[in-house]
Structure formats: C-alpha cells, structure tokens
Structure 1
Amino acid sequence: MTDTSALFRPFTVKNLNLANRIVMAPMTRAFSPQGVPDQNVADYYARRAAADVGLIISEGTLIRRPSAGENENYPLFYGEKPLAGWKNVIDAVHAEGGKMAPQIWHQGAARAEGSGHFPEANSDSPSGIMHDGTKLNYTPTQEDIADMVAAYADAARDAKALGFDTVEIHGAHGYLIDNFFWDQTNKRDDKYGGDLVGRTTFATEVIKQVRAAVGNEMPIIFRWSQFKPFAYDAKLAHTPQELEKFLGALVDAGIDVIHASQRRFWEAEYPDIDGKDGLNLAGWSKKLTGLPTITVGSVSLDNDFISTFAGETAGDGAANMKNLLERLERDEFDMVAVGRALLKDPDWASKIKDNQANQLLAFDKDALKTLY
C-alpha cells in the first residue's frame, strides 16, 4: 500500500487553514445557464468538499468585461443573479467543512469574436492580435486596460464579500493576463509592453488592485504557465534567471501562492541545469521566490497510476506516484492540484485517505459532459 500521508498534512497561508494538501484544480464545464451557477453547481462542489478536498478552486469565472468569455454558459462573477448563485455555492461548500476560491478569469485573445454572453463585444487583448498574428477588431487604449484591471479587482472584492476563503487570478494558458506576458501577443510600446518584466505590468496592476480589494490577510493565488494550449513548447522564462525576475515582479505586487501549471508534473522545467529528474515548474517557482506553490499536471489520470495507490503495479504510474509523493515530502512544492480525476470521481481524496485506492474511478471523456 502506498504511503500517501504527505498529502494529508495540514497547511496554512495567511488566514487560510487547510486540512490537507489536495487542491481541486479549476476546470471549465459550462454548466451555468446564462452565466448563473445553479443548485447543481453548488452540489457539485459541495460533494468534493465533503470528501476531503483541502481546497477547491472553482472553474473559471468571468469578470465584468463583455468579451471575457466565449460561452454563454460560463459562469459570470458579477451581477445580482450570478453572485447570488455563487453565494449559494460557497455556503454549500462551507456547510461541508470545505474551503474555496473562485478563479477570476478573462479569456482575452483566446475568445472567439462574436461569441459568449455578449457576442457583439470586441475581444480584449494587449495589442489587437492573436497568437498567430490574426488581427482583432480593436487595440485597447490605456483607459480600456485600466477598466480590465478594475474588473479583476471588482471580482475579488465580491468574492470576499460572499465569504470565499481565498481568490485565484488566472494568468495562464494564453488568456488575457498571459497575452500581456507573451511577446507573441504583446507588441505594445507603452508601459504595458517591453521586455519580460515590462510585460508583467498589467498583471502587477491587477494584483495590487486585488490586494487592495481583499485586504492583507486573504491569500491571493496566482496561476501561470509557460505553455499555451496552442503552443506547448512556449516559454516565457527560458532560464532560472529570467524566471526569478518575472516571478519577482508578481511577488512584489502582492501574491501569496503560485499555482504553476504544466502538462505533466514529473517533467523537469530546466533539465539542462538539474537533470531530467530536476525541479518542476512549481519547484523552481518556490525555490526562486520562497512562496508556497501548487503543482498540477496529469495527476492520477490512467489506470496504471490509479493502481499504484493500491500498490498493484510497477509501471509508469508507480514511478509517477512515487515521484509526486517524494517531491511533496521534501517540500519541493506545497500542494497538489488534481483536475480530471476529481471531475470523474468526487470521492477521490477520501478514497486515497481511507486506503480505498482500488475503488478509484478512471477518468473518461464522458466525465466532461456530466454533473457529478
């Protein structure tokens, strides 16, 4: 039987006290009709809270910019009805003893024009271009950008007022904040452009205004990635030296936890420096900043990996499971985000805790279409 006790150590950051190191990763599901999370959404999250998930991070929730998302069933995080729906969600999670953050989100240039809650709205971006050079309908002014920044802060303020325990800013995966980070989509020649540190200006303004909105004791989680879904080999920071400067700007602005998104948690971020078994992205993020980090990427997705929890295999899943737990035990990172496995199996964490790994449900694509 695999010793998973490292996953069940308590963890505290600022006023957030977690029972364990398991985080439910944010997963967009488009199950909020016209942007309003209903009772099914509340039940979905409450199930995981009741089943030993230490921290739940919601699916992406759209800030109050008309072009924030491309699907009218993506949940909004502004307006009377959507916020009432989210109040029901957080109350349901708290009733089960859970802790939760909304992930505040804007799709930026990744949003298809003519789509979403307000199809007539022009897509927001830094420079009016997509990653492939396609021109969008407008290039924002500094006044437009100021309103984008304020919209993130408004969402964070509402999150605190509703009773959420923390908040996550989505700065990864080719969405709006990441559009500002990446030189392929940010061609601005004002304060929001320039070198990599200069291109963090939009994000640092967002973080500072979010901090002002939530106060000093509520933790701010910041999610970022090197890769984009359309460019898996992309890198913002090609060396640890670049990474230290990039993350340093975000830390100075006021983040508390770094959620370092990568496709496979076991892959070394800079293998030329510390080898193929070296630090992953969360590991380097923690080493260079000293902040707590969350790792994520293909945790418990295949049958071989699931069997490993029960000590039934010596295949790739066994190697990856051992790798995950060893890294966590030596505090390379602090928390482990589980995505699709928890989407399929709401009792994933409890089964691991209770040594019932042989009962874990393997992820399948139909889980994306179903309310569990």
Structure 2
Amino acid sequence: MSTLFEPWSLRSLTVPNRVWMAPMCQYSAATSGPDTGAVNDWHHTHYTSRAVGGAGLILTEATAVGPEGRISPADLGLWNDRQTEALTGLTRALRERGAVPAIQLAHAGRKAGTRPPWDGGGPLAEDEGPWRPSAPSPVPFAEGCRTPSELTEDGIREVVGQFAASARRALTAGFQVAEVHGAHGYLISEFLSPHSNRRTDSYGGDFAGRTRFALEVVDAVRAVWPDELPLFFRISATDWLAEHGWTPDDTVRFAHDLREHGVDVLDVSSGGNAPDVRVPTEPGYQVPFAARVRREAGLPVAAVGLITEPEQAAKILASGEADAVLLGRQLLREPYWPLRAAKELGGPPSVVPAQYERAY
C-alpha cells in the first residue's frame, strides 16, 4: 500500500493517512450580528464532506485572531465565545468521521479589509465598513490598496497575544493541530520579507530582526498549545522576486529556527507577498521547496501546489520529498479524492465511514 495511506504519529497524535486538506478561505461567515465570523451550515457541509471523503487531516481556512485581521468581513474568526462554541460542533463532526481537525490561525496584515473574490476582490468601499489594515511598514500591497498603519511595538505585542488567545480557544473548541499562517503576504509573511518589511527597529533589517515577530508568535502559541499536540507553520518558500524578497535559502535557514521553537511540520507554499510576479506553475511546482527543507533542515514537511493525481502524490512521498501532501483545489473539485486514490493505488482507504464500508 502507498505511503499516502500509512498513519503518521506526531507527538501523541496519530493522523490516519498522509492525504490532507489544505486551508482554503470560503468567505461565507456572517458579517454582522452575534454570529459574525462563526462557522455555519456551509462550513459544516464543506468540511465534513472531505472527512467522509477520506482526508486524514482537515485544515480549516485562515481564521482571524482578531476582527482587524480578517481578509474580508466574511472570514472566520476566533476571538469570542460564540465563534469557539460554533467550532466545537465542527471539530466533533470531523473526529467522528475519522479526520484530525486542524485550524490555521491568521492575521491578514496589509491585505485585510477586502471583498470576497466573487465580489471583485479589492479594498472595501467607504460604505462597506472598511478598516485600516496594519503591517510592519506603511507600504500598500498594490496600487489602489489602502496604505496600512505601521504596527508599533505595543501593537506587535497585542497581535502576539491575539494569536495565543485564539490558540487557547482552538484547544477549547476541540482542534488537535494548530497552524500559524506565515505565508502568502499576510502579516507574518510581511514581517519576514524585506520586500514588505522596511523597519529599522528590532523587528526589521537583518534576518534575525525580520523573523523575530514570527518566532514570538510561534513561542506564544506553543506556550498555550499542549506539549502532546503538534504545531504547524505555513510558509511561502519564496516571494518569486528577483531581488529584495524572501528566498528559498531564507526558508531553509528559518526552518532550523522553527524546529528549535517547537514547530513539528512546515507547510510549504509560495508567493502572495508581491503582485504581478511570474510564477512558473506546473504540477508539483512547489514540491522542490518542501523537499529541500526536509533534506537540509531536518524538519518534516507537507507539500502543496498542483498535486492532483494519486500516482503523483504517492511518488512525492515515496521519493522522500515530503511527509504528507496537502490538496487544495483538487479537493474542491473532487471531495472524495482520497477514496479514489486508494482504489487506484491498490489498497483500502484508511478512513471510511462505517456506513460506506460495504462499498470497499
């Protein structure tokens, strides 16, 4: 049987297979009232269908640690009791269907305060309740975007505290894995890259300064997250810029630091911090970044990016390029992909609801 369907022990947790669901924003939460930012029927259907479909670990979409950290007003959040209680039902449903519930904790930084993509994206208009985003430096993401306010050191400490508070709530809600979102040009990613971090204080400048905020967030989350449960970190391995950007060399160097600070798995993506860059997309185009981290930093990795076929996914693991694969849009197209993959690779799936066992 393919390594795809072998269990993997992370600290005291055993994930039933190596086919995982990548975090993908749904922009479907209520935008006002007591249910603002809370999961609803759409999210339950969306996530539990992938658990029924055989994914061993389900990473929920970027979940804001504070209202101002949302990408859009319709993002999920985890800063109040109502949001925590709503997530409790979802995590229970995922566990009952054999999947490990995982949450991605996020702050959108200078990319906050936009419309959902099907409403055109772009900054909220003045009559849509916009808020001024914050960032390491007052540099807008792109032309036409709001200029963010530069976070003060007090503001940085406040955001670090928000990540810790949301991690506590995630544990209360029943999540078994927490992931810190440090990719795609959102707040932590903005601090990491010299393209977006122009600070001259201890949170900018050299590599140590630019990575300081990220490590403070990791330390704060790890301090409240139980020792027996794993912590992930999502990173953009490169900004895809010719100069003055975050690079694959930086990622490998930073992976050593993350491992020392208690991160168990690096979720390796790329891009998102600079508009209009040319990304050479092809099947598995980000896998080499993950493979290099695994080889040179000794940190377990999950690979993501145009992984669409069972044989392709199986080969990534068999060749030692990654320890798990994260499927994104392929699982939007095909929620039961893991079940098909198990059949094509010649063995039983590792997660099948009792109601479906007679089909296997």
TM-score by length of 1: 0.79
1:259 is displaced (CA, Å) by: 0.3
Q: Mapping of 1:167-316 within 5 angstroms?
A: 167-228=178-239, 236=245, 238=247, 240=249, 242-262=250-270, 264=282, 266-267=284-285, 280-300=288-308, 305=309
Q: Mapping of 1:108-123 within 5 angstroms?
A: 108-112=109-113, 115=124, 119-123=129-133
Counterpart position of 1:41: 43
SS of equivalent to 2:191: helix
Relative to structure 1, the CA distance from residue 235 to residue 261 in structure 2 (aligned partners, 3 Å threshold; closer, same or farther) is farther
Instruction: State the Cα RMSD in Å.
Output: 2.5
Q: Mapping of 1:30-179 within 5 angstroms?
A: 30-34=27-31, 35-64=37-66, 66-112=67-113, 115=124, 119-132=129-142, 136-179=147-190
Counterpart position of 1:20: 17
1:294 is displaced (CA, Å) by: 0.1
User: In the aligned structure 1, how far is the partner of 2:80 from the partner of 2:282?
Assistant: 37
Structure number with the bigger relative contact order (C-alpha 8 A, sep ≥ 6) is 2
Relative to structure 1, the CA distance from residue 16 to residue 115 in structure 2 (aligned partners, 3 Å threshold; closer, same or farther) is farther
SS of equivalent to 1:143: helix
| Runs of 4+ that moved beyond 6 A | 232-235
User: In the aligned structure 2, how far is the partner of 1:253 from the partner of 1:84?
Assistant: 30
Unaligned runs of at least 5 residues, structure 2:
32-36, 115-122, 271-280, 347-360
Counterpart position of 1:344: 333
User: In the aligned structure 1, how far is the partner of 2:247 from the partner of 2:80?
Assistant: 41
User: In the aligned structure 1, how far is the partner of 2:243 from the partner of 2:45?
Assistant: 37
| Cα shift readout 1:26-48 (whole Å, capped 9, x = no counterpart) | 11111222322113312221121
Matched residues, percent identical?
Answer: 29
**Which residue identity does 1:122 align to in structure 2?**
R
Relative to structure 1, the CA distance from residue 233 to residue 21 in structure 2 (aligned partners, 3 Å threshold; closer, same or farther) is farther
| Cα shift readout 1:1-47 (whole Å, capped 9, x = no counterpart) | xxx72211111111221111001011111122232211331222112
Relative to structure 1, the CA distance from residue 234 to residue 83 in structure 2 (aligned partners, 3 Å threshold; closer, same or farther) is farther
Counterpart position of 1:329: 318
| Number of aligned residues | 320
1:291 is displaced (CA, Å) by: 1.8
**Which residue identity does 2:131 align to in structure 1?**
A
Question: Given that residues 302 and 325 in structure 2 are in contact (C-alpha distance below 8 angstroms), is that contact kept between their aligned partners in structure 1?
Answer: yes
TM-score by length of 2: 0.81
Question: Given that residues 63 and 78 in structure 2 are in contact (C-alpha distance below 8 angstroms), is that contact kept between their aligned partners in structure 1?
Answer: yes
SS of equivalent to 1:155: helix
